[in-house]
Structure 1
Amino acid sequence: MSGMRDIKRKIGSVKNTQKITNAMKMVSAAKLRRAQEAMEAALPYADKIYEVVQNISKRVNPEIHKLLQPKEEVKNIGVIVITSDRGLCGAFNSNVNKLFSQFRREHSDKDFKLICVGKNGYEYVKRRDYEIEEKYISFGGKITYDDAITIGDSAVKLFNDDEIDELYVVYNEFKSVASQIAKVKKILPLDFETEEETGESVVDYLYEPDPNTLVKEIIPRFINFTIYSCILESVAGEHGARMAAMDNATRNAGEMIKKLTLNYNKARQAAITTEILDIVNGAEALK
């Protein structure tokens, strides 16, 4: 009987866990919808500002802005590591941490300065005694554009002060609800890919004010919004990963409940059979 009580207690415990994971799945689904809307709302602006900066940068001398000038020798690399503050989202954070470690090994001859966005990544790099310049671990996935400006300004200051020679972002790129891919993205110095010649006439624009003034004003905005876009993708990916993880946990709990229920029924049937045999044997003994 004690074995049956243990099984019944375990069934109750798993059912309670299943309720929690199912509730977390529903909460993540609601948050994912809002995060996707924010990410998709930012896409048109991100595409247009990229197009404008790319177009203008081809028409100005790179020497007019430090963010356009590649360093002669790269000794120090800055990395913004974007993870979530919370766990229970499968391999979402570990993929970013592993990719950062791989990137770190590939550039083992360089010094690294890190900006951590998210508690998980901060704790990961802290355990390895890497140099952390800034940490942002209290946003809880609710990062605004003003927050991204603060992060971007910190990174740009490191570059302008020659404390870093290149800047990268390591984050989860949002592909779909079920797919988030860890990615390393170069931010500074700005280096736009050369477009292939299409044979069509190149369209030039009239700028007001002049291109040099525009570059100085728009590049910092471009950097900040690029970082903001990466954070938005990471937030949406986090909720998608957590929703998938909680869905798997809920289904696994259901399977476990079925197995435990079967074991409980078997134990109960065995106990009843034993009691019947005891009764029959007692009756035979009285005869």
Structure 2
Amino acid sequence: MESLKVIRRRIRSVTSTKQITKAMQMVAAARLRKAQAKLETSRPYAFKMQEILENLSTVSGFVENPLFKKRNEIKKTLLILITSDRSLCGSYNSNLINFTTSVLSQYSTPSIELGLIGRKGFDFYKRRSWPIKFNYLHVGGNIPFVQIKELTNQTVESFLTGEVDEVFLIYTKFLNIASRKIVFEKFLNIEKPQERKSAEVFDYIFEPDPAEIFNGLLPRYCITKIQMAILESGTSEQSARMLAMQQATKNAEEMVEYLTLVRNKARQASITKEILEIASGAEALKEF
């Protein structure tokens, strides 16, 4: 059994760690509330954007747009992965990286490039020499709109000029505090919005005309798609970090309880030993 001095030192160390994880849990909870509020106010906008495109698609018929064009031959694929910049969020990043690696295993290295948002994904794939088209670090799930627009325009331009033939997004969708899921979806070419039933279409008056408005909205739709993926990822990260720190705090509390029990047993054994030594000494004195 360890000495009382060592056990007391371990208790102090674990207690100190518990205080840190508790503080980090509270910070993550505050950031989660803020990120969740921002996400919940952005989702209706994204939903309405999709709804308007579907309405326009219905009233304007088929609209020719290069963003809809599917390439006959796929020579280059761009995979945009959104991870976090920091650790201490459980298996959040490792799950994303493992999923992405399984997707990459289906491609040959020259035929795919990575667009990386977040340091964890960048550090992992840079060490493994994967071709990286662009990276955005220190985002914390909150990239300024100007950078989101720049990132989206860069990606769309690469698609339109033929540098890449298809683009996919990999990110984590926030469901609730305890639940998230990894999403793998196509970004470009854009799947043509599903036409709505005539009874579901609102009676809009379009100026100048539906086709022109439709083509004008597509770039905004692309920006919204990237923005929502980043917001979903940022909220998921904070939720994962809060739960990880909550579990770490619980583990530290259990460890302190265990070490306290060990300390008490050690003290009891030490006191019992001293009593036995005193009793033995007293018995020895009686013999003289």
TM-score (norm 2): 0.92
Equivalent positions of 1:159-238 (< 5 A) are: 159-192=159-192, 194=194, 205-238=204-237
* Superposition RMSD in Å: 2.1
Question: CA offsets, 1:49-108, max 9 Å, x none?
Answer: 112223334535453x21111111112111110011011011111111111112212344
Distance 2:107 2:91 in 1: 24
Q: 1:277 maps to which residue? A: 276
Distance in 2 (alpha carbons) for counterparts of 1:268 and 1:211: 83
Q: Which moved more, 1:272-281 or 1:186-195?
A: 186-195
1:113–1:19 Cα change, 3 Å: same
**Which residue of structure 1 aligns with residue 76 of structure 2?**
76
In the alignment, structure 1 segments of 5+ residues that lack a partner are none
Structure-2 change in CA distance of 1:201 and 1:256 (3 Å): closer
Does the Cα contact within 8 Å between 1:168 and 1:185 map onto a contact in 2?
yes
Aligned equivalent of 1:268: 267
Q: Does 1:9 align with 2:20?
A: no
1:38 maps to what in 2?
Answer: 38
Which runs of structure 2 are paired with 1:16-95 in the superposition (5 Å)? 16-57=16-57, 59=60, 61-63=62-64, 65-95=65-95
Check the 8 A contact 1:66/1:160 in 2, yes or no: yes
Q: Number of aligned pairs? A: 285
Which residue is 1:244 aligned to? 243
The corresponding residue for 2:152 is 152
Query: How far, CA to CA, are the matches of 2:109 and 2:259 in structure 1?
Result: 55
SS of aligned partner of 2:129: coil
Query: Superposed, which structure 2 residues align to 1:103-182 within 5 Å?
Result: 103-108=103-108, 111-182=111-182
Segment drifting more, 36-45 vs 132-141 = 132-141
Residue aligning to 1:286? 285
Q: Secondary structure at the match of 2:3?
A: helix
Separation (CA, whole Å) in 2 of partners of 1:150 and 1:138: 16
Deviations 1:185-242 (A, max 9, x none): 111111146468x695866744212233223321111101110001001001100010
Structure 2: 5+ residue stretches without partners: none
Partner of 1:257: 256
Write the deviation string for residues 138-196 of structure 1: whole angstroms up to 9, x where unpaired.
Answer: 22333232221122112112111211111111000101111111110111111146468
| CA distance, structure 2, for counterparts of residue 158 and residue 255 of structure 1 | 53
> Structure 1 pair 159/60, CA: closer, same or farther in 2 (3 Å)?
farther
CA shift for structure 1 position 110: 7.1
Rounded to whole Å, the distance in 2 between the matches of 1:61 and 1:123 is 43
Contact 2:78–2:167 (Cα < 8 Å) also in 1 = yes
C-alpha distance in structure 2 between counterparts of 1:109 and 1:132, whole Å: 11
Letter in 1 for 2:33: R
Structure 1 CA distance, aligned partners of 2:46 and 2:159? 22
Q: In terms of mean alpha carbon deviation, does 246-255 or 123-132 score higher?
A: 123-132
Counterpart-to-counterpart distance in 2, 1:266 and 1:208? 83
Query: Secondary structure at 2:207's aligned position in 1?
Result: coil
Change (3 A) 1:109 1:5: closer
* Greater mean deviation of Cα atoms: 144-153 or 25-34: 144-153
Q: Distance in 1 between matches of 2:136 and 2:109?
A: 27
**Structure-1 separation of matches of 2:163 and 2:206:** 34
Shift in alpha-carbon separation, 1:107–1:200, aligned structure 2, 3 A = farther
SS of residue paired to 2:135: strand
State the identity %. 40
